[in-house]
Structure 1
Amino acid sequence: MKRSITPITPFGWKIKQKLAEKQLDQSTFCDTYHIPPSRLSNLIHGTRKAKKYRKQISELLGIEE
Structure 2
Amino acid sequence: MNSKSPITPYGWAIKQRLTEMCVNQKDFCQIHGIPPYRLSNLIHGTRKAERFRRQIEELLNLPLS
Q: TM-score band, normalised by the shorter chain? A: over 0.9
TM-score where L is the length of structure 1: 0.93
- Whichever residue aligns with residue 63 of structure 1, its letter is L
Q: Work out the percentage of aligned pairs sharing the same amino acid.
A: 56
Long gaps (5+) in structure 1: none
Who is 1:43 aligned against?
42
Deviation, 1:10, is: 0.9
Residue-pair matches, total: 64
Give the secondary-structure state (helix, strand or coil) at the position aligned to 1:29. helix
Long gaps (5+) in structure 2: none
TM-score where L is the length of structure 2: 0.93
- Whichever residue aligns with residue 47 of structure 1, its letter is T
Per-residue CA deviations over 1:7-39 (Å, capped at 9, x if unaligned) read 001110000000000000000000000000000
